[in-house]
Amino acid sequence: MMRRPPIPGLVMADGWLQPYSRQIRDRQRLFDLKMKRIHQRAGSLEEYARGYRYYGFNRDAETGAWTYREWAPAARRVSLIGDFNGWNRESHPLERNERGVWEITLPPDALAHGQKVKVHVVGADGTGKDRIPAWITRAVQDPSTYDFAGEIWMPEHPYEWWNNGFDPSRVEVPFVYEAHVGMGGEEGRVHTYREFADEVLPRIASLGYNTVQLMAIQEHPYYGSFGYHVSSFFAPSSRFGEPEDLKYLIDQAHGLGIAVLLDVVHSHAVKNEAEGLNNFDGSGGMYFLPGERGRHPDWDSCCFDYGRDEVLEFLLSNVRWWLEEFRFDGFRFDGVTSMLYFHRGHEPFGDLGAYFGSSVDLDAVAYLQLAATLIQRVKPGAIAIAEDMSGMPGLCRPVDEGGIGFSHRLAMGIPDYWIKLLKEKKDEEWSMGDMWHTLTNRRYGEPHVAYCESHDQALVGDKTLAFRLMDAEMYWKMAVDQQSLIIDRGMALHKMIRLVTLATGGKAG
């Protein structure tokens, strides 16, 4: 392991962190230890994050033979089922190795593009269940039964990129347009990747945005979760089209000079066993923390066990998959506060000690450090935004300093502030001091993405700022030949709120 200075750079830059030097060094030591284990196993972090070339379905370049592998250490029996064998649970058993990985090799003509597949797992509890392979790159839902299944995706003609060489480092100040492909169109239906690429992207470019952040890309069984209950982490949602259509979208964006970020969900996973990873081998945990710590109290979902090597390999490989296979230019990591603390953000952060106590999940800190390091090694200059409500010191400082390594932090407190202000205060009660403090309250040297509203308010149980300001009056008094003090006030305040937030709230918008 590398020798580090006795005083971390994070402490050198901020003397208030001096009482927590030991904890910061402990984090560095844990990161170094995990990196050492990774190098011993795979030779490098980059190679370690190519697990998708080992797990799941892969073809031998010379013979064309298929190999399917699945990690299920406590399972009693595993077999591959699908269209290719009439869904026979006995005909194609897998063999287990000493690491708890099950494997089967099939001849070149055994599987074909478009065939549906699942894996039948007899778990540690003796129960047999048909599951979707964890590393599947495409999952589809039957329109009549609503059952999800994996799908072999090996098109004869792979997508050919034409906008090569896009460099995300050219985006010095991200101006981010957050979007949901399915809701991106005008009609009351689920829209597609190609519709978004052809009809929405040109409008985004014309408005001056240089970055698009896409929600709900990773496959999820419940559309109403807005993509935050992920089931198949390597599969782009089939609701919006085929994987090649998503590549087309990203290619089109690059042609317009726009970077594309994936709203990646590594903070938790859907608890559904029929579609997701929960209780995959019948042991009750596996990918997730055992017991109550593995159950999220607010989201009705499962919390990852970042201390297991196989989980690290799964999540880090997922990061590299989206960067390489689909050429995303970075990520917004959802729910980072929930990842960092065992209390999932339910305890106050009244002093610096709250960021360095026993409630911090050090394995999660190490995972985020590894992910941030991997992102820059695979795609230098990529954007990595952390959605953190807690204000963890060093979140956007280099790992070598004792930080976590993100490029930006999403300033979630700002939209919360504006909604609270509009709901609880009259205009004449607004405090300029409170406003200035909220908009500028960030750690020096840690860039923030700031905007006055968020999908957390607009989509989940609240209203947009425009509706808060004007509400039903927008339906009846927005014509140019009509007069309304409510509309006049609302339009004026909306413009001023946006202006002051973008001007003072951070180094990205």
For residue 499, pLDDT over 60 is answered with: yes
What average pLDDT does the chain have?
A: 95
387 is catalytic: yes
**Which of 240, 227, 182 has its CA nearest to residue 460?**
227
Residue 334 annotated as catalytic: yes
Which of 200, 220, 71, 214 is closest to 135 using CA atoms? 71
| Residue 1, pLDDT above cutoff 70 | no
Using 50, 70 and 90 to split pLDDT, how confident is the model at 268? Answer: very high
Angle of helix 432-440 relative to helix 413-424, nearest 10 degrees, comes to 160
pLDDT in tens, 271-303: 999 999 999 999 998 999 999 999 999 999 999
* 72, 286 Cβ separation under 8 angstroms: yes
Distance CA 427, CA 95 (A): 69
C-alpha to C-alpha distance for 332 and 328, rounded to whole angstroms? 11
390: CB partners within 8 A, 6+ apart: 337, 340, 341, 345, 349, 354, 355
Query: Quick one: average pLDDT of 397-418?
Result: 94
Tokens read off for 50: 């190519």
| pLDDT band at residue 57 under the 50/70/90 scheme | very high
**pTM metric for this prediction:** 0.96
Q: At what angle do helices 485-504 and 413-424 cross, to 10 degrees?
A: 150
Q: Express each pLDDT in 360-373 by its tens digit.
A: 999 999 999 999 99
What's the average model confidence in pLDDT over 322-329?
98
- pLDDT over threshold 70, residue 461: no
What is residue 460's predicted lDDT score, i.e. its pLDDT?
A: 67
- pLDDT tens figures, 93-143: 999 999 999 999 999 999 999 999 999 999 999 999 999 999 999 999 999
Catalytic-role residue among 70, 281, 334, 388 = 334
User: pLDDT digit string (tens) for 211-251?
Assistant: 999 999 999 999 999 999 999 999 999 999 999 999 999 99
Give the neighbor-by-neighbor strand order of the sheet with 408-410. Answer: 176-180, 211-215, 259-264, 330-333, 383-387, 408-410, 448-449
The catalytic position among 242, 273, 387, 453 is: 387
Mean pLDDT lowest among 32-46, 331-345, 449-463, 473-487: 449-463
pLDDT tens column, 149-182: 999 999 999 999 999 999 999 999 999 999 999 9
pLDDT tens-digit readout, 176-203: 999 999 999 999 999 999 999 999 999 9
**Residue 444: what pLDDT?**
87
